[in-house]
């Protein structure tokens, strides 16, 4: 299966498949897991579910880093390795008549992606250290600060997606669902390797792994995610909720 699938049926121009299935499954599973982990972070009652989503985040990002080396063209880090100047130039161009167009990640967006992956790992690891009472209060404090920093970057990311969508008159969030973006004549700078596979099977495997992990965690009352220090079941936890 080719990385580039032109589809002239629905558009005046042509469309190109940019986000492979693994990237799309990763993205929306990360949105859900980050959102749930963040919202449940404060609550003692929901701690095990919080940890479950936190581990899911760590698993997803680990996969994404691997996929950044072996995935399809636009998923690979080499396709969006931009310096700070390129990012600033791109942001500046959004205010011009002809904003720079990139089929894959734009230079500013790529910085947001790297920040999101780094903060996700750091938040997950400090959460693990906090749960296991390693390193005292410092990691607990760091976990909270990192989670909030991550939230700020996510807001910037979503604002960037909205701004770029308007600038290019293309719904980029939809592209993260369908995988397709419009091919623009202005995007000639993006070159694509000849034949990188789409691998929907890998996307299906990620989705299955996440669901199996969640079901196992829920059925065992969080035992699958406990480190041995949390002795209570979720049902017992509900009795002494202190959120």
Report the residue from 1, 6, 31, 65 that binds ligand HEM according to the rule CB under 6 A: 31
Both structure tokens of 119: 């903060």
Smallest separation (angstroms) from ligand HEM to the CB of 85: 18
User: Contact between 64 and ligand HEM (CB under 6 A)?
Assistant: yes
Q: Is 203 in the site for ligand HEM (CB under 6 A)?
A: no
Of the candidates 207, 202, 234, 168, the one whose C-alpha atom is nearest the C-alpha of residue 75 is 202
Helix, strand, coil percentages in the chain from 3-state DSSP, rounded to 5: 65, 0, 35
CA-to-CA dists, residue 55 to 125, 154, 217, angstroms: 9, 19, 11
Q: Which stretch binds ligand HEM (CB under 6 A): 3-11, 81-89, 170-178, 199-207?
A: 170-178
Return the number of other C-beta atoms located less than 10 Å from residue 64's C-beta. Answer: 22
* First-to-last C-alpha distance (Å) of the chain: 50
Residue 50 in contact with ligand HEM, rule: CB under 6 A: yes
By CB under 6 A, residue 176 contacts ligand HEM: yes
Q: Which of 77, 118, 140, 233 binds ligand HEM (CB under 6 A)?
A: 140
Q: What does each C-alpha distance from 189 to 13, 92, 104, 106 come to in angstroms?
A: 18, 18, 11, 12
Rg (CA), the chain: 20
Number of chain residues interacting with ligand HEM (CB under 6 A): 42
Of positions 4, 51, 108, 142, contacts ligand HEM by CB under 6 A:
51
Handedness of CA 159, 28, 2, 5 (dihedral sign): negative
| Using rule CB under 6 A, residue 25 touches ligand HEM | no
- List residues binding ligand HEM (CB under 6 A): 23, 26-27, 30-31, 34, 37-38, 41-42, 50-51, 54-55, 57, 64, 75, 105-106, 109, 113, 116-117, 120, 123-124, 127-128, 130-131, 140, 143-144, 147, 154, 157-158, 161, 172-173, 175-176
């Amino acid at each position: 299966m080719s990385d580039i699938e032109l589809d002239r049926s629905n558009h005046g121009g042509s469309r190109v498949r940019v986000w492979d299935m693994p990237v799309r499954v990763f993205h929306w599973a990360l949105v859900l897991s980050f959102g749930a982990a963040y919202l449940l972070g404060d609550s003692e009652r929901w701690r095990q579910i919080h940890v479950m989503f936190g581990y899911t985040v760590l698993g997803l990002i680990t996969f994404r880093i691997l996929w950044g080396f072996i995935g399809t063209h636009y998923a690979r880090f080499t396709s969006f390795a931009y310096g700070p100047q390129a990012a600033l130039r791109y942001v500046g161009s959004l205010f011009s008549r002809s904003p720079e167009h990139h089929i894959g990640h734009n230079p500013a967006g790529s910085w947001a992606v790297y920040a999101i992956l780094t903060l996700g790992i750091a938040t997950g690891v400090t959460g693990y250290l906090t749960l296991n009472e390693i390193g005292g209060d410092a990691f607990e404090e760091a976990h909270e600060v990192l989670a909030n920093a991550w939230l700020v970057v996510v807001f910037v990311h979503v604002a960037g997606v909205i701004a770029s969508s308007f600038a290019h008159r293309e719904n980029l969030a939809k592209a993260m669902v369908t995988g397709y973006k419009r091919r623009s004549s202005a995007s000639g700078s993006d070159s694509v390797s000849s034949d990188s596979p789409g691998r929907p099977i890998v996307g299906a495997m990620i989705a299955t792994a996440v669901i199996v992990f969640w079901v196992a965690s829920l059925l065992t009352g969080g035992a699958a995610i406990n480190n041995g220090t949390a002795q209570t079941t979720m049902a017992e936890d509900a009795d002494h909720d202190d959120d």
